[in-house]
Structure 1
Amino acid sequence: MPLTEEHKAEIDAQRGQTQQTARATAPGMEARLYTAHEVLDHGFVRVIDYMGDDAAICQAARVSYGKGTKSVSNDEGLIRYLMRHWHSTPFEMCEVKFHVKLPVFVARQWIRHRTANVNEYSARYSILDREFYIPAPDALAAQSTVNNQGRGELLEGDEAARVLDILKTDAARCYDNYEAMLSQEGQKGLARELARMNLPANIYTQWYWKTDLHNLFHFLRLRADVHAQYEIRVYAQTICEIVADWVPQAYGAFEDYRMGGVTLSTKAIDCVRRMLKGEAVTQETSGMSKGEWREFEGVIR
């Protein structure tokens, strides 16, 4: 379990503290505040703090309207307009701070999204816990034969058991050696900042990750996508559920125009027009590469 009884008691205590505030609050986010949502075998996501709501997005957008400019009276209509036309600044008025527990190799993917404030658990100062991500059987897959950065068929039987045994054995051995290298009574040992280099990439770390809604949507568009790696996708999907409760109108527009929408190239639009006229367009006559055509077919079919 990712949370100990001590951690659960601490979270309950945080949720039990209430204070009056004059600032805008989102009921859906208030219900989620501090709660740890479990992800993978030992990980979690929880909201530590947030600022703004759907109304804050509209407020920021309308402040730029000068005299005589047409105003949008309907908040949802305005938010959908902003999303549809890529007006990102109003969405930056909302911010959220997450506490995330995740495997190191997932953190290394996640940190590529550089538009956030991050503070990670220090393995120079503290000793990391003996917690490793071990994939469930339905997450063990061979290398894809068509995608150099994807998975193919599931491993089964003896092959799956062999891989799981390697993962568990190596993780345990590395941590045993990590502990053995640390300073103990009767020996100087190795500094924590050096001993940590022996730990595998599936060990868990933690961080606080703060970002604005515009950049969070960008993260979710990439990482909640079906093509994203499973281990980061499940974190993104959990965050999607949280954001849907926080800013339901903005998230609805995001689902429509970013998650559910597509961007077509000039060649793709030309092919669609030709198809609507009854022409049988093929990859050879489309002007697209095989990869582009395969993606285009995936969209239209």
Structure 2
Amino acid sequence: MPITPEQAAEIDAQRAQPQPTLRATAPGIEAHLYTALPVLDHGFVRVIDYMGDDSAIVQAARVSYGAGTKHVSNDEGLIRYLMRHWHSTPFEMCEIKLHVKLPIFVARQWIRHRTANVNEYSARYSIMDREFYIPAPEQLAAQSSVNNQGRGAVLEGAEAARVLEILKTDAGRSYDHYEEMLDQDGKQGLARELARMNLPTNIYTQWYWKTDLHNLFHFLRLRADPHAQYEIRVYAEEIAKVVADWVPAAYAAFADYRMGGASVSATGLDCLRRMLKGEAVTQETSGMSKGEWREFLAMIEG
């Protein structure tokens, strides 16, 4: 289960005691506060705190740019202008703090986004729970033959069963040995900071992760992308739903210009102009490599 009965009781208690405030609040994210959104088999994402909303972005932009934004007729239009022209600091005025429970191998991929503040559960001081990520059968896939970082066909039948059994057996055995090394019943027991090194990377860890909206959008652009690894993508997709409720105007602009849009090189733009004039442009006449041309065609053909 994603959260324990004790955690559920704590969440209920927190939500039952709203506090008066003079600061700006966003009703969409207020509804998410403290609630655990399940991810994978034992993981979750929950909002612990936030600062700012769409109006904070607009307020910061008008302080920064002054007369330069007077031609923008409304707040939503200004936010779209800022997103379209790659302004960053107005979006940094909004921040969010998340409590995330996730497998360690996902955390190690996630931590590459170095523009956040992180405080992780410490296995030096505490004992890890016996919870492991075991993929659903439809997520068991062979190595892709064309992408060194991706998955190929889904494993089936006896092969899928064999792999699942290995994952479950290895995780359970490692944790059994972890407990055995920690055991102090009549023995010294190994220090927690040493015993933890035997644990597999599919065991769950937890952390508080705080970041601003500009850097969160960068995270979502990469990790909520269909090409991202499934196990981190499902976390990003849950966070994206929260962000859409928190800052709807900013998220709509992000979805349009970043998630749904595309960047075109000067060479690609030249090819598009030639195509619009009726020229039959080929890879050989495009000035692009085969890889660039393949990606260019995929972009314009959808």
TM over 0.5: yes
1:127-142 paired onto structure 2 within 5 Å = 127-142=127-142
Q: Distance in 1 between matches of 2:83 and 2:12?
A: 37
Out of 66-75 and 219-228, give the one that drifted further: 66-75
Name the residue aligned to 2:64. Answer: 64
Name the residue aligned to 1:153. Answer: 153
Shift of 1:290: 1.8
| Equivalent position amino acid for 2:184 in 1 | Q
Q: Is the 8 A contact 1:102 1:204 kept in 2?
A: yes
1:14–1:191 distance in 2 versus 1, CA, 3 Å:
same
| Equivalent position amino acid for 1:48 in 2 | I
- Residue segments in structure 2 that go unaligned for 5+ positions in a row: none
Shift of 1:73: 3.9
Name the residue aligned to 1:76. Answer: 76
Q: Distance in 2 between matches of 1:205 and 1:66?
A: 45
Q: Is the 8 A contact 1:225 1:233 kept in 2?
A: yes
Name the residue aligned to 1:34. Answer: 34
Name the residue aligned to 1:288. Answer: 288
Q: Is the 8 A contact 1:142 1:153 kept in 2?
A: yes
1:128-153 deviations in Å (ceiling 9; x for gaps): 00000000011111111111101111
Aligned partner of residue 118 in structure 2, secondary structure: strand
User: TM-score, normalising length from structure 1?
Assistant: 0.98
Q: Is the 8 A contact 1:183 1:191 kept in 2?
A: no
Aligned partner of residue 129 in structure 1, secondary structure: coil
Aligned partner of residue 239 in structure 1, secondary structure: helix
- Residue segments in structure 1 that go unaligned for 5+ positions in a row: none
| Equivalent position amino acid for 2:38 in 1 | E
Q: Is the 8 A contact 2:62 2:69 kept in 1?
A: no
| Equivalent position amino acid for 2:244 in 1 | A
1:33-54 deviations in Å (ceiling 9; x for gaps): 0010000000000000000000
Name the residue aligned to 1:94. Answer: 94
Q: Distance in 2 between matches of 1:286 and 1:184?
A: 70
1:1-301 paired onto structure 2 within 5 Å = 1-66=1-66, 70=70, 72-301=72-301
1:180–1:255 distance in 2 versus 1, CA, 3 Å:
same
Aligned partner of residue 64 in structure 1, secondary structure: helix
Q: Distance in 2 between matches of 1:251 and 1:281?
A: 36
Q: Is the 8 A contact 2:58 2:75 kept in 1?
A: yes
Q: Distance in 1 between matches of 2:260 and 2:96?
A: 24
Q: Is the 8 A contact 1:65 1:71 kept in 2?
A: no
1:115–1:193 distance in 2 versus 1, CA, 3 Å:
same
User: TM-score, normalising length from structure 2?
Assistant: 0.97
Out of 93-102 and 10-19, give the one that drifted further: 10-19
- Paired residues in the alignment total 301
1:163-198 deviations in Å (ceiling 9; x for gaps): 111100000000000111114120011110011000
1:66–1:54 distance in 2 versus 1, CA, 3 Å:
closer
Q: Is the 8 A contact 1:62 1:71 kept in 2?
A: no
Shift of 1:285: 2.1
| Equivalent position amino acid for 1:179 in 2 | E
Aligned partner of residue 178 in structure 2, secondary structure: helix
Aligned partner of residue 46 in structure 1, secondary structure: strand
